[in-house]
């Protein structure tokens, strides 16, 4: 059961990140122009928002564009240090939440110790991470359906694995779990009474609305690629 909960937390964290990107993109617009006093001295230079904030996330935006921006800012060195330290923390916390899904599964279903589960997952994931890193260098010419290794895995996980996984979780919670068990989880064992009042509205959404919406998102991603 904890595996499902960890997966749902991971999905929620990812959705928050996606909402953040969407809000920034809509609020600023695709032709957002950034003017700083330093840049004005050299003429009006503009940067589209996608070069400053990764609307379509890509490490190049972080490690090439942003350092240049920081170098033009007052106290840019300090800002850059704080920014990249924050980026490290964000990467570590996100990695832990993603890792925990597999660790919980191996611990509960395969009866592994947590240390052994972490070691097994590390050995499996580490080579893939190396290939993704090398796709920005020696393996940049290696293409999978026209994408680098990193871009292919990024799009595949975002467009397919997340939606399929979310659909499976919704179907499991809505149709496999017993309603009293779902209510117990939803109210944290009956300690959150206001959630119990909301449950009668949430339950039909979980069973009927959410699966249809997730399937629509999946088909939309599929059509975009095709």
Residue where one domain finishes, among candidates 134, 153, 184: 134
161 and 210 assigned to the same domain: yes
106 and 157 assigned to the same domain: no
- Inter-residue contact 25 to 190 (CB < 8 Å): no
Domain that holds residue 88: 1-134
Radius of gyration (Cα) for the chain, nearest Å? 22
* Domain count for the chain: 2
Q: Is the dihedral of CA 124, 168, 100, 62 positive or negative?
A: positive
- Give the integer Cα–Cα distance in Å for 134 and 93: 23
114 and 151 assigned to the same domain: no
154 and 211 assigned to the same domain: yes
167 and 78 assigned to the same domain: no
Residue where one domain finishes, among candidates 87, 112, 134: 134
- Which segments of the chain have a pLDDT < 50? 2-4, 6-7, 9-11, 13-57
Total-model pTM? 0.60
Q: How far is CA 57 from CA 11, 49, 60, 135, 150, in A?
A: 17, 12, 9, 15, 11
122 and 150 assigned to the same domain: no
Specify burial of residue 214 (Cβ count, 10 A radius: 0-12, 13-18, 19+).
buried
Query: Which residue from 30, 27, 8 is spatially nearest to 19, judged by alpha carbons?
Result: 27
- Inter-residue contact 98 to 11 (CB < 8 Å): no
- Give the integer Cα–Cα distance in Å for 186 and 199: 8
What's the confidence (pLDDT) of residue 16?
45
Residue where one domain finishes, among candidates 134, 161, 191: 134
Number of Cβ atoms within 10 Å of the Cβ of 86 = 10
- Give the integer Cα–Cα distance in Å for 194 and 205: 17
What's the confidence (pLDDT) of residue 207?
94
128 and 145 assigned to the same domain: no
4 and 34 assigned to the same domain: yes
207 and 187 assigned to the same domain: yes
- Inter-residue contact 7 to 170 (CB < 8 Å): no
157 and 130 assigned to the same domain: no
Q: How far is CA 3 from the centre of its chain?
A: 18
């Amino acid at each position: 059961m904890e595996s499902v909960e960890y997966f749902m937390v991971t999905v929620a964290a990812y959705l928050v990140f996606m909402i953040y990107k969407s809000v920034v993109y809509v609020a600023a617009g695709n032709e957002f122009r950034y003017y700083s006093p330093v840049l004005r001295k050299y003429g009006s230079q503009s940067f589209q928002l996608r070069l400053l904030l990764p609307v379509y996330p890509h490490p190049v935006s972080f490690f090439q564009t942003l350092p240049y921006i920081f170098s033009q800012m007052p106290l840019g060195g300090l800002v850059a240090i704080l920014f990249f330290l924050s980026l490290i923390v964000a990467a570590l916390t996100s990695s832990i939440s993603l890792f925990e899904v597999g660790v919980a599964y191996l611990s509960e279903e395969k009866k592994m110790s947590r240390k052994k589960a972490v070691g097994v997952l590390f050995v499996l994931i580490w080579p893939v991470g190396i290939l993704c890193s090398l796709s920005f260098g020696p393996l940049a010419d290696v293409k999978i359906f026209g994408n680098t290794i990193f871009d292919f895995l990024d799009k595949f996980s975002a467009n397919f694995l997340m939606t399929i996984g979310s659909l499976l979780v919704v179907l499991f919670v809505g149709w496999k779990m017993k309603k009293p068990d779902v209510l117990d989880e939803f109210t944290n064992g009956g300690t959150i009474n206001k959630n119990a009042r909301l449950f009668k509205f949430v339950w039909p959404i979980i069973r009927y609305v959410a699966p249809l919406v997730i399937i629509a998102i999946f088909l939309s991603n599929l059509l975009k690629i095709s």
